[in-house]
């Protein structure tokens, strides 16, 4: 039974036919999830974006600065993405993964350069231990360049996803303004984050974590830092995300109609280490499937990224912590490394003179 099950390509199809995890998913004892993290401890700040346009704007910017510097993560409410858009996106994602393997597998590819692809784990080409995750990755900016590659089943997939991606992009552009302002990049300067990204790119993942018979032995996604600029994650009502803070993992439990925003490696570089891209991971559970939908906003591949001059000269002592590079170079290194816990960003540190 198990032999035939493990020969299947996608974890969701394995999940439905095994009562223990195949050995290639089992983590070494020193690297297993803690599934019972206290909820009473530290939590990720929740920022109300409603206040952004009123008299309390400065306070919101201050909250963003504090969250980005101390956690690398925050949650947002009153973010402007309509509830209906969110609901439709979650529903179509669930419908996509509930289709038979024969339908989903049409999109399967292990080639990390493909702009639309279904895959499993993280990077099947380079990792040693597999992860309990199936995902569909899409490029979505500009939408018209990619929409014809997206799945056409379920029938509403393209329309719903396009509407969602457009709405989330508008939110991300607002967030980039706030984050730039909060870190000390003048609002109208060429230095603010959105002006350093070339033509801009936007990717999405639809992550599907099937129920797992031995959730204490494996991860949905092991600890990693996002390589892009900022990420905005939508999660369903099942917990699973954990964020590393002060030597401990904090669980981020779902709050309806909110997004979880995090600083990615490129924001750490642009901010010259003022803001940190932090480790996070996804655990699975034994009785519920979980869906999460991150949007990864990033520079276009030809954009040259480096610490912003304004943040280097601010104090006499400060120097550029990273060399400049193209995002293409960074992105290639990221996928080659198979989510090693050491940061990809360390490979781009400026050499000491």
Q: List residues binding ligand OGA (CB under 6 A).
A: 205, 207, 221, 226, 233, 235, 240-241, 280, 282, 292, 294
| From the list ligand OGA, Ni ion, none, partner contacted by residue 90 (C-beta under 5 to 8 A by kind) | none
| Vertex 99: Cα angle to 97 and 104 (nearest 5) | 75
Size of the site for Ni ion (CB under 5 A): 1
Residue 226 touching Ni ion (CB under 5 A): yes
**Smaller CB separation from Ni ion, 181 or 226:** 226
CB of 109 to ligand OGA, least distance (A): 17
**Cα–Cα distance, 124 to 59 (Å, whole number):** 44
| From the list Ni ion, ligand OGA, none, partner contacted by residue 93 (C-beta under 5 to 8 A by kind) | none
| From the list ligand OGA, Ni ion, none, partner contacted by residue 276 (C-beta under 5 to 8 A by kind) | none
**Cα–Cα distance, 131 to 207 (Å, whole number):** 12
**Cα–Cα distance, 178 to 120 (Å, whole number):** 35
Residue 265 touching Ni ion (CB under 5 A): no
CB of 262 to ligand OGA, least distance (A): 8
| From the list ligand OGA, Ni ion, none, partner contacted by residue 234 (C-beta under 5 to 8 A by kind) | none
Question: Which distant-in-sequence residues (6+ apart) come within 8 Å of 41 by Cβ?
Answer: 248, 250
CB of 140 to Ni ion, least distance (A): 17
**Smaller CB separation from ligand OGA, 302 or 336:** 336
Parallel/antiparallel/unpaired status of strands 221-224 and 280-282: antiparallel
Closest-by-Cβ residue to ligand OGA is: 292
Asked if 80 and 170 count as a contact pair (C-beta separation under 8 A), the reply is yes
Q: Phi and psi at residue 322, in whole multiples of 5°?
A: -130, 155
Task: Give the binding range for Ni ion (CB under 5 A) out of 32-40, 183-191, 211-219, 224-232.
Answer: 224-232
Count helices and strands (H / E) in the chain: 10, 14
Parallel/antiparallel/unpaired status of strands 304-305 and 201-209: unpaired
Residues at the contact surface with Ni ion, assessed by CB under 5 A:
226
């Amino acid at each position: 039974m198990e032999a035939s099950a493990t020969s299947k390509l996608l974890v969701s199809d394995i999940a439905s036919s095994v009562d223990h995890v195949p050995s290639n998913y089992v983590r070494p004892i020193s690297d297993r999830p803690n599934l019972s993290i206290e909820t009473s401890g530290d939590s990720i700040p929740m920022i109300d974006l409603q206040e952004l346009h009123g008299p309390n704007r400065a306070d919101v910017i201050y909250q963003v600065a504090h969250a980005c510097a101390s956690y690398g993560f925050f949650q947002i409410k009153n973010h402007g993405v309509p509830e209906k858009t969110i609901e439709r996106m979650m529903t179509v994602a669930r419908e996509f993964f509930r289709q038979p393997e024969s339908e989903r597998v049409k999109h399967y590819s292990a080639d990390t350069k493909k702009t639309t692809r279904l895959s499993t784990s993280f990077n099947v080409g380079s990792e040693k231990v597999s992860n309990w995750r199936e995902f569909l990755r899409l490029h979505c900016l500009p939408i018209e360049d990619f929409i014809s590659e997206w799945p056409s089943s379920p029938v509403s997939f393209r329309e719903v996803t396009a509407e969602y991606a457009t709405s989330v992009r508008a939110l991300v552009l607002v967030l980039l303004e706030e984050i730039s302002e909060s870190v000390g990049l003048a609002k109208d300067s060429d230095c603010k984050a959105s002006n350093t990204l070339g033509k801009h790119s936007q990717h999405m993942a639809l992550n599907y974590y099937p129920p797992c018979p031995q959730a204490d032995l494996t991860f949905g996604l092991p600890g990693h830092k996002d390589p892009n600029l900022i990420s905005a994650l939508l999660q369903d009502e099942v917990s699973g995300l954990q964020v590393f803070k002060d030597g401990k993992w904090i669980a981020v439990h779902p709050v309806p109609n909110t997004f979880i925003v995090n600083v990615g490696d490129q924001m750490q570089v642009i901010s010259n280490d003022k803001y940190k891209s932090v480790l996070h991971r996804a655990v699975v559970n034994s009785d519920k499937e979980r869906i999460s939908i991150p949007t990864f906003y990033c520079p276009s591949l030809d954009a040259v990224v480096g610490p912003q001059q304004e943040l280097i000269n601010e104090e006499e002592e400060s120097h550029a912590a990273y060399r400049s590079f193209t995002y293409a170079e960074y992105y290639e290194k990221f996928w080659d490394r198979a989510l090693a816990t050491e940061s990809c960003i360390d490979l781009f540190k400026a050499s000491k003179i």
